Structure 1
Amino acid sequence: MKSILVTGANGFIGSALIENLESFGFNVIKFNSSDGDISNYIFLKEYENTDIYHIFHLAAKTFVPDSWENPLEFYKTSVLGTGQILELCRHKNIPLTFVSAYLYGLPEQLPITEDATIKSNNPYAHSKYLAEELCRFYSEYYNVKVTIARPFNIYGKNQKDMFLIPYIIKQVLNDEVIKVKDLYPKRDYIYLDDLISGLIKTLDNEKQFSVYNFGSGEELSVQEIIDIIQKIAPTNKEVISENQERQNEIMNVVADIKKANYDLNWKPTFSFEDGITEILKDMKNAN
């Protein structure tokens, strides 16, 4: 049985990825923050006698507002943590899939391709960019095979309600009215199951170094999201917007996903309506 190491194993993406990998018969080695500080955890020493087939590196601090308050913790986790993983890959010749983030800032054109200009406009994104650069260096100079995944806005079952989609769903199901900051920003939302299928595809990627966008290829505004969730719920609650545009707000984002389709034979299978339907069904079954 082939062993795969997954860092960030208890996270939103990690737990779903592990469930999928185990269903394919892989033995999954799990690493979480409870196992140690990834920025100084010596993976090479811990796993020197373990045969690891592949590594999925997801461990990161992810809530962007927190990155402005405590940027150093984000840099430690993303940059030094990724360095520790790359050292293990280097010495044991293990291929790596690194789960990065949206790094394009205010896009110059839509849809956004992987070779678009990087504009890390918050410490979280900047820490991911620096981790990507480490991956690029180790691939070029130490011959580590690396696939970088850049997910756009992920949503799915069991996501914390500090994020937009579960935040709206919670209000649609439980509150008298639905309150949001702004109805107009558009984002590209990818359902968690589609992202997981893309990550699984990277196991067979033969390229020495590659970067892939993972999105739906379509954009939705906050207003459209509310309308779709209310339709499926079904509810018809009042929507109150503060019309509060965030500083440096990006008003429209959509991913070009042709490269992942061409290289990995991957494409999303869930429409936004399908994804919301699955989430609401899961919530109903849990109650």
Structure 2
Amino acid sequence: MKKVIVTGSSGFIGKALTKKLYELNYEVIKLNSKTGDISDFSTFSKFDFTDINHIYHLAGKTFVPDSWENPLEFYKINAEGTLNILELCRKYKIELTYISAYVYGHQDFMPISEDVVVRPNNPYAHSKYIAEQLCEFYAYEYGVKVSVIRPFNVFGVGQNEKFLIPHIIKQALLEDNIKVKDLTPKRDYIYIDDLIDAIILTKHSKNNYNVYNIGSGYSISVKEIIDVVQEILDISKPINCENSFRINEISDVVANISRANLELNWFPQYSFIDGIREILKYEKEKYNGEV
């Protein structure tokens, strides 16, 4: 049986990845906050890495607003934690797939390719980009085979309610109106199942160092998200917008996914509407009589 490690296995993406790997008959060692702090190398002393052939590294701090309040924790976990994972890969000759983030910041042209100048615009993105630079160094200087996934805005069943789409859906199902901070920002959304497929396909990457955008190739505004949710639910609740703006807010984001198309033979299978329908089916069952 193929044996792999998933760090961050208890997170939104980690749970979905672990489930899919089990379905594909992998033996999965799960590392998460309960097993220890990845920024402390001694955490790994309890594990045997001799027969591991791949690590999927997702563990990290993820919520952008929190990164402004506590940047030190983000750099410690996201950068130093990734360095520790790379050291394991170097020592035991393990291949790595690193799940990064949208690190591009403000860009003048869309869609955004992997080759543009990266301009992280918040501590979270900057900490992830530092981790990418470590991955690149270990790939070229130590021969560790690394694939970096840059997901754009991931959504799907089981995502934390502090993120935009589950926040909107909960209000659409349970509240009298829908409250958001800003209706205008547009993002490229990718459904969780499509992201998981791309992550698993990186095992077949040919180069020693690979970077892939994973998105849909089109963007949707906050207002359009609300419209899609209300249309599927056949409702028309009032929308209250605070007209407040996040620090360094980006107005629009679209991914160029041609490299993943070409090198991984990966293409999104879910449209945005398909993904919202899947979430709504699950959420309506969860809330049951409350809806």
TM-score normalized by structure 1? Answer: 0.97
> Displacement, 1:121?
1.1
Q: What is the DSSP-based 3-state SS (H/G/I as helix, E as strand, rest coil) of the residue aligned with 2:30? A: strand
Partner of residue 15, structure 1:
15
> Displacement, 1:242?
1.8
Aligned residues: 287
The separation in 2 between residues aligned to 1:151 and 1:177, in whole angstroms, is 31
> Displacement, 1:44?
6.0
Which runs of no fewer than 5 residues in structure 2 stay unpaired?
none
Query: Which aligned pairs between 1:60-99 and structure 2 lie closer than 5 A?
Result: 60-99=60-99
> Displacement, 1:138?
0.4
Q: Decide whether aligned partners of structure 1 residues 94 and 175 sit closer, same or farther in structure 2, where only a CA change above 3 A counts.
A: same
Q: Decide whether aligned partners of structure 1 residues 86 and 161 sit closer, same or farther in structure 2, where only a CA change above 3 A counts.
A: same
Instruction: Compare 47-56 and 235-244 and name the one that shifted more.
Output: 47-56
Partner of residue 160, structure 1:
160
Partner of residue 221, structure 2:
221
CA contact (8 A) 2:37 2:43 kept: no
The separation in 2 between residues aligned to 1:240 and 1:43, in whole angstroms, is 46
> Displacement, 1:41?
2.9
The separation in 1 between residues aligned to 2:129 and 2:38, in whole angstroms, is 18
Give the fraction of aligned pairs with identical amino acids, expressed as a percent.
56
Q: Decide whether aligned partners of structure 1 residues 44 and 140 sit closer, same or farther in structure 2, where only a CA change above 3 A counts.
A: farther
Cα shift readout 1:177-198 (whole Å, capped 9, x = no counterpart): 1111111110000010110011
Root-mean-square deviation (Å): 1.2
Within the alignment, does 1:246 sit opposite 2:250 as a pair? no
CA contact (8 A) 2:49 2:92 kept: no
Q: What is the DSSP-based 3-state SS (H/G/I as helix, E as strand, rest coil) of the residue aligned with 2:170? A: helix
Partner of residue 173, structure 2:
173
Q: What is the DSSP-based 3-state SS (H/G/I as helix, E as strand, rest coil) of the residue aligned with 2:279? A: helix
Partner of residue 137, structure 2:
137
Partner of residue 196, structure 1:
196
Amino acid at match of 1:216: S
CA contact (8 A) 1:43 1:85 kept: no
CA contact (8 A) 2:36 2:43 kept: no
CA contact (8 A) 2:156 2:192 kept: yes
Q: What is the DSSP-based 3-state SS (H/G/I as helix, E as strand, rest coil) of the residue aligned with 2:266? A: coil
Cα shift readout 1:15-61 (whole Å, capped 9, x = no counterpart): 00000000000000000111111101346644445300210000001
TM-score normalized by structure 2? Answer: 0.96
Q: What is the DSSP-based 3-state SS (H/G/I as helix, E as strand, rest coil) of the residue aligned with 1:34? A: coil
Instruction: Compare 203-212 and 255-264 and name the one that shifted more.
Output: 203-212
Which runs of no fewer than 5 residues in structure 1 stay unpaired?
none
The separation in 2 between residues aligned to 1:213 and 1:20, in whole angstroms, is 21
Instruction: Compare 187-196 and 200-209 and name the one that shifted more.
Output: 200-209
The separation in 2 between residues aligned to 1:246 and 1:84, in whole angstroms, is 32
> Displacement, 1:210?
0.7
> Displacement, 1:278?
0.5
Partner of residue 281, structure 2:
281
Partner of residue 41, structure 1:
41
CA contact (8 A) 1:44 1:87 kept: no
Q: What is the DSSP-based 3-state SS (H/G/I as helix, E as strand, rest coil) of the residue aligned with 1:284? A: helix
Cα shift readout 1:107-129 (whole Å, capped 9, x = no counterpart): 12100000111111111111101
